[in-house]
Chains A and B, each alone.
Chain A
Amino acid sequence: MVWLALLLALGTVLAIAYPLVRPRLRAAGPAPDPEASELAAAKESTYAAIKELEFDYRAGSLSQEDYRDLESRYKRKAAALLQVEDARHSEADRRAQIEAEIRRLRGVPAQPPKQRQAAPPATGRFCTQCGSPSDPTDRFCANCGHPLSKAGSKA
């Protein structure tokens, strides 16, 4: 029994000590970025809020005026979050370029800088009701509130 207890103690010490002595393999990937996860969480709540608003409006527990107002607030918030995200990405790109430059100056073979996927160009979409232009992701016309079909009511 004593041996078993000693074994438990030994196992515990090893488990606790292992992270301290193992080589830090950070090359496996960049450390997860805490800011990014906070942004993602904020984005998720905002999208969920927009989705629920739409439903409340459809189900009649929200007046059209309030729906418009709240929806535009949340959309502004979502847009602001996306802008922050973009700014962070371009910041990351700039850093990568500087890193590549330094490596070039030091004579290390250059790595191609990471390319971010560019967003697909916005398709020209227009509301079939009032003709005002709309975003490809919009489900309702921002001008008159007419539902936009999924395939896109392209003009």
Chain B
Amino acid sequence: MADLGYAALVIALAAAAFATVAPLVGLRWRLPALIDSGRSALWAAASLVSVAGLSLLYLLATRDFKTQYVYQYTSSDMSMLYTLAAFWAGNAGSLLFWAWTLGLCAVVMLIQNRNKNQALMPYVTAIVAVTMGFFVGMMVFVSNPFDQMVFPQAEGEGLNPLLENMGMFLHPPPQLLGYMAFTIPFAFAVAALATGRLGDEWIQSIRRWTIFAWLTLGVGILAGAQWAYVELGWGGYMGWDPVENAALMPWLVGTAFLHSIMVQRRRGMLKVWNMMLIIFTFNLSILGTLLTRSGILSSVHSFSQSGLGPLFVAFIAVAMTGSLALLYYRMPKLRAEHELDYWVSRESTFLVNNLVLVGIAFAVFWGTMFPIITEAVRGVKITVGPPFYNQVTGPLFLILLLVMGICPLIGWRHASKDNLVRNFLYPVAFGVAAGIILFLLGVRKPAATISFAVLAFVTAGILRDWSRAVRARRQMRAEGWLRAFLRLTGSNRPRYGGYIVHLSVVVMALGITGSMFYPLETTATLNPGETVSIGRYVLKFEGASEYQTQSKQVLASTLTVYTGGDYLGTVTPERYIHRNHDNPVTEVAIRSTLKEDLYVIYGGKNPDGTATFKFKVNPMVMWIWIGWGVMLLGSAVAFWPEMKRWTA
């Protein structure tokens, strides 16, 4: 089976190479048959990569330890689900996962466009094929998932215990898929540049692809945050780790792109900017795959290192120079149809939103690359930590939130004075009132109070715009409130899906602000029976125990939790020492409520019978995960195909 998988990869590489060259040659020599043949070759490459993917799944499922990859990442005591999830635990498997998901995206794209975009498709096929060929080539020549063991073993090494968590299913697959899905919008952008067909056509073809890529990447990032929160035991959800940053950068620039294409569709502006954004989004995605898999930067994700780096850098260099050169060549054709008429207009809020998003992405890029840069310049790796990121990006995120609230309240082109007064009065009043009330209630850190006030303003703005639209619709066609609301939302899904996503951002920002500004933390060494208090909680250490399971030794502790004399329940933070891995793993105990999370980390038992604990109270963290759900809902609304009727 391993041989079959490898053979499929080799043939897929040949097919992808053909699919890259054939459409371009077919265009040049006017041979439509060759273009069709290139398309079939891309189909073939996608199918062959699927054969390779299924082969690896089969090898994992049958626990074929003769295959090196299976040996390295699984063992017989692992449950079947995690054994299969080892598919994306290492380098070679991740490469295969990328190639496979890109193949699936390619197939969907080919089916969607079998009778559409005939002029663009040859280029789109070639770009997707060359990207796929790159990943397949890496497997064929550098990091083969089907390599066989020189000395076959009877038992595998097993998965890194940190990876044995539900997060393994929720975090890597969408994130890796998100990176790949940005290839399709990029391919269309390059095709638009190459053909000079720079109108609305390519933008319409990729709108939903962009939402899809943005959503999957976003879901992956948040799942990673949640996983880090429950598993890594540092008490936070975002450590500004290089690999987290690697995903954040294309996501931020992709967010900017998603917004600025609206300006292009409505007003014919920002065409060059949009091209830049999608070119950078794609290249940052590839950089993301590089950072995830190369081990260039040390990270919580450095599960393995490899020599893939230089090849990735070469690919990015070629993709970047090629697409930017093409953009430069087409510059004269990308002139804006309209100028920015007035500074106070919806266009300019989009512009600010874009600049801020790109600014944040740049700050993150700078911080992430800083160790590499300092090493190159001064020979010392200097790493920048979370304080840098929080200080630089915090205010920018706040501006972003503010703009998010302002945008729907301003009309396109020009906002008149009465329009401004009329639209802003209530939301601003609501925001200010919220700020004052919170201040009176004791929320007195300036940044936190401002942040909460801005969030109140944004919410009021969105709800006001929405309710006025519902009212307008009711006036136009005598409908009930609920019916008008649903019909309205259905009639412009991209817009109202976007509003739901904005609300989800508000909900997440609530959680982030609360947990950033008002966390409590204490460390205690306790004898059994002793208590410690943190915030409104009193915890009593009941005792510790130790036991063995098949794969690990478990050090468990039990604490009872009280608040104001009332018994709330028990928590059992644990530590695992795995048979195959040296580092102990903390199993954090978390008691979540909407108000706050009680977070207990067990440090272990001391020789004198005491036990060490770290206690944290993280306010409002639950809201981040609720926001995540709302974001999924909003994106689904925006993603849902629009009906082809304009009579709504």
A: which residues have CB within 8 A of B? 1-2, 4-5, 8-9, 11-12, 15-20, 24, 31-32, 34, 37-38, 41-42, 44-45, 47-49, 51-53, 55-56, 58-63, 65-66, 69-70, 147
The 5 A-B pairs with the shortest beta carbon distances in the complex, nearest first, are A5-B7, A19-B36, A62-B411, A58-B472, A34-B119
Residues of A within 8 A of B648 (CB): 51
Query: Is B4 in contact with A1, judged by CB distance below 8 angstroms?
Result: yes
Query: Is B468 in contact with A59, judged by CB distance below 8 angstroms?
Result: yes
Residues of A within 8 A of B527 (CB): none
Q: Does B360 contact A (CB under 8 A)?
A: no
Query: Is B201 in contact with A38, judged by CB distance below 8 angstroms?
Result: yes
B149 to chain A, nearest CB (A): 18
- Give the CA-CA distance A44 to B200 in the complex, in Å: 9
Which of B118, B119, B266, B414 lies in contact with A49, CB distance below 8 A?
Answer: B266
Query: Is B413 in contact with A16, judged by CB distance below 8 angstroms?
Result: no
Query: Is A19 in contact with B468, judged by CB distance below 8 angstroms?
Result: no
Query: Is B469 in contact with A53, judged by CB distance below 8 angstroms?
Result: no
Query: Is B416 in contact with A45, judged by CB distance below 8 angstroms?
Result: no
Residues of B within 8 A of A19 (CB): 33-34, 36-37, 39-40
B: which residues have CB within 8 A of A? 1, 3-4, 7-8, 11, 14-15, 18, 32-34, 36-37, 39-41, 43-44, 48, 51, 115-119, 197, 199-201, 203-204, 265-266, 408-416, 418-419, 422-423, 465, 468-469, 471-473, 475-476, 492, 495, 646, 648
Query: Is B40 in contact with A16, judged by CB distance below 8 angstroms?
Result: yes
Query: Is A55 in contact with B472, judged by CB distance below 8 angstroms?
Result: yes
- Give the CA-CA distance A58 to B472 in the complex, in Å: 6
- Give the CA-CA distance A66 to B12 in the complex, in Å: 56
Which of A1, A9, A32, A45 lies in contact with B3, CB distance below 8 A?
Answer: A1
Query: Is A58 in contact with B40, judged by CB distance below 8 angstroms?
Result: no
B114 to chain A, nearest CB (A): 10
Query: Is A70 in contact with B412, judged by CB distance below 8 angstroms?
Result: yes
- Could you give 21 example pairs across A and B, Cβ below 8 Å? A5-B4, A8-B4, A9-B7, A12-B11, A12-B44, A17-B37, A19-B36, A19-B40, A32-B116, A32-B118, A38-B200, A41-B201, A44-B204, A49-B265, A59-B469, A59-B472, A60-B422, A60-B468, A62-B419, A63-B419, A66-B413
Query: Is B476 in contact with A147, judged by CB distance below 8 angstroms?
Result: yes
For the A-B complex, the count of residue pairs with Cβ-Cβ distances under 8 Å equals 137
Residues of A within 8 A of B117 (CB): 34, 37
- Give the CA-CA distance A74 to B577 in the complex, in Å: 68
Are A63 and B37 also in contact (CB < 8 A) when A16-B15, A42-B200, A47-B646 are? no
Residues of B within 8 A of A45 (CB): 200, 204, 265-266
Q: Which of A2, A5, A9, A12 has the most CB of B within 10 A?
A: A12
- Give the CA-CA distance A33 to B199 in the complex, in Å: 16
Query: Is A38 in contact with B411, judged by CB distance below 8 angstroms?
Result: no
Knowing that A37-B117, A63-B416 touch, tell me 9 more A-B residue pairs with CB under 8 angstroms.
A1-B1, A2-B3, A8-B51, A12-B15, A20-B37, A34-B197, A52-B266, A58-B476, A66-B412
Residues of A within 8 A of B413 (CB): 66, 69-70
How would you classify the secondary structure of chain A's contact residues: helix, strand, loop or mixed? helix
Query: Is B40 in contact with A9, judged by CB distance below 8 angstroms?
Result: no
B317 to chain A, nearest CB (A): 30
- Give the CA-CA distance A55 to B408 in the complex, in Å: 12
Query: Is B7 in contact with A61, judged by CB distance below 8 angstroms?
Result: no
A112 to chain B, nearest CB (A): 26
Are A55 and B37 also in contact (CB < 8 A) when A5-B7, A63-B418, A66-B413 are? no
Which partner residue on chain A sits nearest B14 by CB separation?
A: A12
Query: Is B43 in contact with A15, judged by CB distance below 8 angstroms?
Result: yes
- Give the CA-CA distance A47 to B8 in the complex, in Å: 48
Query: Is B33 in contact with A42, judged by CB distance below 8 angstroms?
Result: no
Residues of A within 8 A of B492 (CB): 51-52, 55
Which of B48, B197, B411 lies in contact with A61, CB distance below 8 A?
Answer: B411
Are A8 and B11 also in contact (CB < 8 A) when A16-B41, A24-B32, A24-B33 are? yes
- Give the CA-CA distance A32 to B32 in the complex, in Å: 13
B261 to chain A, nearest CB (A): 11
- Give the CA-CA distance A17 to B48 in the complex, in Å: 16
Residues of B within 8 A of A65 (CB): 416
Residues of A within 8 A of B408 (CB): 61
- Give the CA-CA distance A92 to B115 in the complex, in Å: 20
Are A56 and B411 also in contact (CB < 8 A) when A15-B43, A42-B199, A63-B416 are? yes
Residues of A within 8 A of B1 (CB): 1
Residues of B within 8 A of A66 (CB): 411-414, 416
Residues of B within 8 A of A41 (CB): 199-201, 203-204
- Give the CA-CA distance A66 to B115 in the complex, in Å: 39
Which partner residue on chain B sits nearest A147 by CB separation?
A: B476
B436 to chain A, nearest CB (A): 27
Residues of A within 8 A of B476 (CB): 58, 147
A62 to chain B, nearest CB (A): 4
B199 to chain A, nearest CB (A): 5
Which partner residue on chain B sits nearest A34 by CB separation?
A: B119
Residues of A within 8 A of B37 (CB): 16-20
Are A63 and B44 also in contact (CB < 8 A) when A16-B37, A45-B265, A48-B265 are? no
Query: Is A16 in contact with B44, judged by CB distance below 8 angstroms?
Result: yes
Residues of A within 8 A of B423 (CB): 60-61
A154 to chain B, nearest CB (A): 20
A27 to chain B, nearest CB (A): 14
- Give the CA-CA distance A56 to B495 in the complex, in Å: 12
Query: Is B412 in contact with A62, judged by CB distance below 8 angstroms?
Result: yes
- Give the CA-CA distance A65 to B646 in the complex, in Å: 24
- Give the CA-CA distance A109 to B471 in the complex, in Å: 62
Which partner residue on chain B sits nearest A10 by CB separation?
A: B11
Residues of B within 8 A of A8 (CB): 4, 7-8, 11, 48, 51
Residues of B within 8 A of A56 (CB): 411-412
Query: Is B115 in contact with A38, judged by CB distance below 8 angstroms?
Result: no
- Give the CA-CA distance A67 to B327 in the complex, in Å: 34
Are A9 and B204 also in contact (CB < 8 A) when A16-B18, A19-B40, A20-B33 are? no
- Give the CA-CA distance A20 to B31 in the complex, in Å: 9
